[in-house]
A = this chain, B = another copy of it.
Amino acid sequence: MLQATFYHAGCPVCVSAEKTIVEALDANRYKVDIVHLGEQSNRIDEARNKGVKSVPALLINDHVMHINHGADLSDLG
């Protein structure tokens, strides 16, 4: 399985993006890890190191896609 990670912070923009994009991914090929950075602040550094600058963000094959804009990562910790 390929790995995709969806980083969010529970904001309305995040929830909307999660429902739309995560649901549309091919579940037969992608295992999607959904990370709430507000609750899992220990993963903020991981997200930052992957190039995430704002949430919601979707990471696929080490490619960061910032989807719309909910919150800057710097506002989370």
Contact = CB atoms under 8 A, between A and B. Distances in A.
A36 to B, nearest CB: 19
Interface string A63-77: 111111000000000
Contact of A65 (B4, B17, B63, B64): B17
Nearest to A62: B20
Contact of A26 (B16, B17, B25, B64): B25
A38 to B, nearest CB: 21
Task: Report whether over half of chain A's contact residues are helix, strand or loop; otherwise say mixed.
Answer: strand
28 contacts: A2-B24, A4-B24, A16-B63, A17-B65, A20-B60, A20-B61, A20-B63, A20-B65, A21-B21, A21-B58, A21-B60, A21-B65, A24-B25, A24-B26, A24-B29, A24-B30, A24-B60, A25-B25, A25-B26, A26-B26, A26-B27, A26-B28, A64-B68, A65-B67, A65-B68, A66-B67, A66-B68, A67-B67
